[in-house]
């Protein structure tokens, strides 16, 4: 009997899926490759049902002989292992995002004489409504809040990019590339005090109050579904911090990072160039404990940011603080440096992991930006935050356009530098 391979990701089964499974099974013994959670999250939405449950659903469908994992969008690995007589797919992958995946699959099939069977794809209006409902569910505070921890369980390294408005949130949400059979997108968003302040034309000294920052988060949440990591600066007074942390948890933020400095906040990149005071270990631990006591769920993460390397207090001080903060209840440790050489960050990770193999490590490689996410993963770093690149890229572009208009006394020469507004409108959801 002929063998057949079909790949599926869905946690929403509709008539179109049943139809193509029936057609595939009619060709021979059908193996279905179910995309893993990590793969689905990399190109689509976060799966509502975990891989194990999706496998059980597919296993129960008539005509399915066996179910196996498909660990990439590329079919190569499974095709080369199974060498099925037929690969079945809808014809909707001939254009767009999956075109190169199709071309690779055809190449692999040709290498051993396999045949691609494509069936007409018919959009299902009911499925689209269900898919829209699924995306809406991902934006519910309780669901959104829990996703960062789930991503950390699912992936070696989670990445996040800065968002400071609804529009930048949409960019963080929808930007996607396909490379070497793998899809890549950002896992989460970082809402920083620096970018919030800069967008308002104000200095980064905790001048923008929490009400304004929370309003900004709500703007982002309204048009996105990805988890949010919040830059809590120093956290302020403990008496104020506990109320702010409760608010962040309630509205669906996944994590808050607070740094162990006191007094008027100064940006860490200035290091010792400006007067900065590091909090005592004892007082900062009390702040962590107070924040943890008021939380209502286990989903919300309170992450401690250590400024010892920034302030040149040494590696031993950084490590002592890390272990003390974890003992106090911190759910993660962010270690930072203003050096372009990542050596001291590497050293911290190595020495920290000798004692603690589980607590998430967070890095913000603004200065030490030559290290890839793969290299961070090798050093057991769990979260990589691109903290200000969208802000920093936008300002030079806007300034250049403004100067071009002034120079030419008209806007024609600037048009090629501008995205057509209808394309921007297409990014923005109507509902």
Contacting residues for 398 by C-beta, under 8 A, at least 6 apart: none
Give residue 352's pLDDT. 98
Compute the chain's Rg from CA coordinates.
Answer: 24
Q: What is the pTM of this model?
A: 0.85
**Active-site annotation holder among 11, 85, 187, 204:** 204
Which of 191, 223, 218, 179 is CA-nearest to residue 424? 223
pLDDT per residue over 288-320, tens digit each?
999 999 999 999 999 999 999 999 999 999 999
SS (H, E, C) the chain: CCEEEEEECCCCCCHHHHHHHHHHHHHCEEEEEEECHHHHHHHCCCCCCCHHHHHHHHHCCCCEEEEEEECCCCCHHHHHHHCCCEEEEEHHHCCHHHHHHHHHHHHHHHHHCCEEEEECCCCCHHHHHHHHHHHHHHCCHHHHHHHHHHHHHHCCCEEEEECCCHHHHHHHHHCEEEECCEEEECCEEEECHHHHHHHCCCCCCCCCCHHHHHHHHHHHHHCCCCCEEEECCCCCCHHHHHHHHHHHHHHCCCEEEEECEECCCCCHHHHHHCCCEECCHHHHHHHHHHHHHHCCCCCCEEEEEECCCCCCCCHHHHHHHHHHHHHHCCCEEEECCCCCCCHHHHHHHHHHHHHCCCCCEEECCCCCCCCCHHHHHHCCCCEEEECCHHHHHHHHHHHHHHHHHHHHCCCHHHHHHCCCHHHHHHHCCCC
Residue with tokens 């740094």: 259
Give residue 11's pLDDT. 76
For the chain, which residues make up each domain, given as ranges? 3-128, 142-387, 393-427
Give residue 404's pLDDT. 95
pLDDT per residue over 220-245, tens digit each?
999 999 999 999 999 999 999 999 99
The number of CA neighbours under 13 Å toward the Cβ of 90 is: 15
Output the six-digit token pair for 239: 């008496």
Residue with tokens 């579904």: 225
Give residue 183's pLDDT. 82
CA 385/CA 97 separation, integer angstroms:
26
Report the CATH architecture of 3-128. Answer: 3-Layer(aba) Sandwich (3.40)
CATH 3.20.20.60 fits 142-387, yes or no: yes
* Ordered per-residue pLDDT tens for the chain, 431 residues: 899 999 998 777 777 788 899 999 999 999 999 999 988 888 877 888 889 999 999 999 999 999 999 999 999 999 999 999 999 998 888 887 788 999 999 999 999 999 999 988 766 666 667 677 777 788 899 999 999 999 999 899 999 999 999 999 999 999 988 887 778 899 999 999 888 888 777 777 767 788 889 999 999 999 999 999 999 999 999 999 999 999 999 999 999 999 999 876 555 555 556 668 999 999 999 999 999 999 999 999 999 999 999 999 999 999 999 999 999 999 999 999 989 999 999 999 999 999 999 999 999 999 999 999 999 999 999 999 999 999 999 989 999 999 999 999 999 999 999 988 888 777 776 65
Q: Active-site residue 11, yes or no?
A: no
* Burial of 423: CB neighbours in 10 Å, binned 0-12, 13-18, 19+: exposed
């Amino acid at each position: 009997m002929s063998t057949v391979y079909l790949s599926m990701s869905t946690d929403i089964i509709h008539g179109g899926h049943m139809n193509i499974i029936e057609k595939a099974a009619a060709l021979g013994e059908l193996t279905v490759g179910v995309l893993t959670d990590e793969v689905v999250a990399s190109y689509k939405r976060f799966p509502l049902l975990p891989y194990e449950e999706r496998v059980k659903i597919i296993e129960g469908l008539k005509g399915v002989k066996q179910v196996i994992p498909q660990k990439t969008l590329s079919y190569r690995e499974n095709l080369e292992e199974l060498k099925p007589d037929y690969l079945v797919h809808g014809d909707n992958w001939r254009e767009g995002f999956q075109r190169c995946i199709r071309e690779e699959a055809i190449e692999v099939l040709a290498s051993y004489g396999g045949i691609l069977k494509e069936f007409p794809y018919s959009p299902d209006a009911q499925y689209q409504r269900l898919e829209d409902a699924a995306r809406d569910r991902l934006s519910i505070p309780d669901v959104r809040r829990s996703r960062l921890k789930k991503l950390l369980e699912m992936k070696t390294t989670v990445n996040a990019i800065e968002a400071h408005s609804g529009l930048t949130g949409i960019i963080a949400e929808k930007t996607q590339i396909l490379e070497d059979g793998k899809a890549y997108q950002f896992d989460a968003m970082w809402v920083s005090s620096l970018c919030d302040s800069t967008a308002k034309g104000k200095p980064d000294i905790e001048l923008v109050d929490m009400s304004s920052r929370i309003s900004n988060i709500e703007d982002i949440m309204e048009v996105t579904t990805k988890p949010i990591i919040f830059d809590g600066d120093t956290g302020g007074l403990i008496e104020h911090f506990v109320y702010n942390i409760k608010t962040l948890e309630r509205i669906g933020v996944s994590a808050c990072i607070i740094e162990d400095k006191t007094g008027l906040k100064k940006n860490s990149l200035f290091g010792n160039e400006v007067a900065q005071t590091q909090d005592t270990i004892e007082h900062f631990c009390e702040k962590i404990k107070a924040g943890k006591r008021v939380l209502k769920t286990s989903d919300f993460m309170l992450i401690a940011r250590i400024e010892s390397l920034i302030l040149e207090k040494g590696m031993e001080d950084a490590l002592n603080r890390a272990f003390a903060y974890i003992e106090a209840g911190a759910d993660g440790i962010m270690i930072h440096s203003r050096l372009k050489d990542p050596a001291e960050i590497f050293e911290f990770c190595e020495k920290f992991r000798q004692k603690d193999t589980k607590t998430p490590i967070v890095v913000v490689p603004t200065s030490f930006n030559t290290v890839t996410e793969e290299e961070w993963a090798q050093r057991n770093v769990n979260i990589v935050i691109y903290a200000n690149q969208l802000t920093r890229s936008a300002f030079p572009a806007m300034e250049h356009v403004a100067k071009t208009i002034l120079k030419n006394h008209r806007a024609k020469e600037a048009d090629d530098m501008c995205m057509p507004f209808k394309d921007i409108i297409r990014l923005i959801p109507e509902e």
